Amino acid sequence: MGYWKLFAGLTLVTSLSAGAGGQNDFSGVTITTTHVAGNVYLLEGSGGNIAVSVGDDGILMIDAQFVGLAPKIEAALDELSKGDLKFLLNTHYHRDHTSGNPAFGDQAPIFAHHNVRRRLAEDPQEGWPVVTFEEGLSIHFNGEEIKALHYPSAHTDGDVLVHFTGAKVVHIGDLIFSDRFPYVDLDAGGDVGGYLNAIKRLSRELPQDVLLVSGHSPVMTMDYLQGYRAALVEQVAFIRAGMDHGRTLEQIQKQGLPGKWKEWTWSFVSEADWIETVFKSYRH
């Protein structure tokens, strides 16, 4: 399953919520703002959830949703602060997180992993990241250290989490889709092994008391991350056991996963899609 299925699906959701409007009509979308902790707020609209830091230094924003939503996002920022936007970071290149870049790139420099710029630069558009990095960097802003950290080959090959160390909030991009099968974009350098490694590493390295913001799930705790990780480890082991027995993809899909995960199927990633992603990641 390619990235475009995800994008098309999100556009469809947007179109439905926008009534009779076309795919670029965001008139029916409302941006809702929620305080998470400390200086950090969550903005939900259409596409990947946005996190912002608001304070004396101004505004730092994580992800930008769709360009058609930019006026509403700016209005929501204005409600929070009269300060200027100083930094925009992208958690990864998927368009539901970066299509708004051109609307903000002339106000603030955009930061992202090298591979985000490389992938966005395949299409002519404005708003490419201008500061790129490999491993990570820190921005000292609004009284705290805000750490951006790359985790390799997980959801894509350019995933970055952003840790607000004072507020104890982490935006983890699209690493977790709570109570749903994850989307691992194999066509964009994602990999199930890398994905499991990322979740294991985060379980080990992030403080237990942080709150997790993500692209498409409610705010989560570290306890939730541990449980999600355990479920994925079990699912992947189950699928790989079938592979070790020489079963074909179709046979494993027909057998299915244990019934306790039936509810994890969703519009972008069915159980069969997830089995196929795991199968392709471990087939050599």
Q: Which of 162, 218, 249 is nearest to 32 (CA)?
A: 218
Q: Single out the residue of 144, 174, 191, 276 in contact with Zn ion (rule: CB under 5 A).
A: 174
Question: Given the rule CB under 5 A, which of 38-46, 67-75, 173-181, 217-225 is the region that contacts Zn ion?
Answer: 173-181
Three-state DSSP at 10 gives helix
Q: CB 183 → Zn ion: shortest distance, Å?
A: 7
Those residues whose C-beta lies under 8 Å from the C-beta of residue 4, and which sit 6 or more positions away, are none
Give SS3 for 81. coil
Q: How far is the CB of 270 from Zn ion (least distance, A)?
A: 17
Tell me, by CB under 5 A, how many residues bind Zn ion. Answer: 2
**SS3 category, 247:** coil
Running DSSP on this structure, what letter comes out for residue 49? P
Q: Which is nearer to Zn ion, 167 or 232 (CB)?
A: 232
Burial of 169-183, coded b for 16+ CB within 10 Å and e otherwise, reads bbbbbbbbbbebbbb
| Shortest spacing between CB 155 and Zn ion, in angstroms | 6
Calculate Rg over the CA atoms of the chain.
Answer: 19
Q: Which is nearer to Zn ion, 94 or 119 (CB)?
A: 94
How far is residue 281 from each of residues 55, 151, 154, 172, measured CA to CA in Å? Answer: 43, 17, 11, 22
Q: Which residues pair with 170 in a beta bridge?
A: 163, 212
Instruction: Using the minimum distance from each CB to Zn ion, give the nearer residue, 144 or 157.
Output: 157
Pick the closer one to Zn ion by CB: 31 or 176.
Answer: 176
Binding mask 185-224 for Zn ion (x = CB under 5 A): ----------------------------------------
Dmax over CA atoms of the chain, in Å, equals 61
Do residues 174 and 183 make contact, with C-beta atoms less than 8 angstroms apart? Answer: yes
Q: Of the two residues 9 and 28, which places its CB atom closer to Zn ion in the complex?
A: 9
Which one of residues 94, 150, 171, 180 is an interface residue with Zn ion (CB under 5 A)?
Answer: 94
Range in contact with Zn ion (rule: CB under 5 A) among 23-31, 90-98, 139-147, 246-254? 90-98
Q: Which amino acid is present at 87?
A: F
Choose the stretch contacting Zn ion; rule: CB under 5 A; options: 34-42, 87-95, 193-201, 242-250. Answer: 87-95
Choose the binding region for Zn ion from 35-43, 89-97, 105-113, 203-211 (rule: CB under 5 A): 89-97
Q: Which two tokens stand for residue 160?
A: 């970055």
Stretch that binds Zn ion, among 31-39, 91-99, 146-154, 188-196 (CB under 5 A): 91-99
* Closer CB to Zn ion, 94 or 150, in the complex: 94
- Cβ 15 to Zn ion shortest distance, Å: 19
Q: Please give the Cα distance from 18 to 263 (Å, whole number).
A: 27
Measure Cα distances from 109 to 6, 60, 88, 93, 139 in Å: 27, 10, 6, 16, 12
Residue with Cβ nearer Zn ion (94 or 168): 94
Q: Which residues bind Zn ion (CB under 5 A)?
A: 94, 174
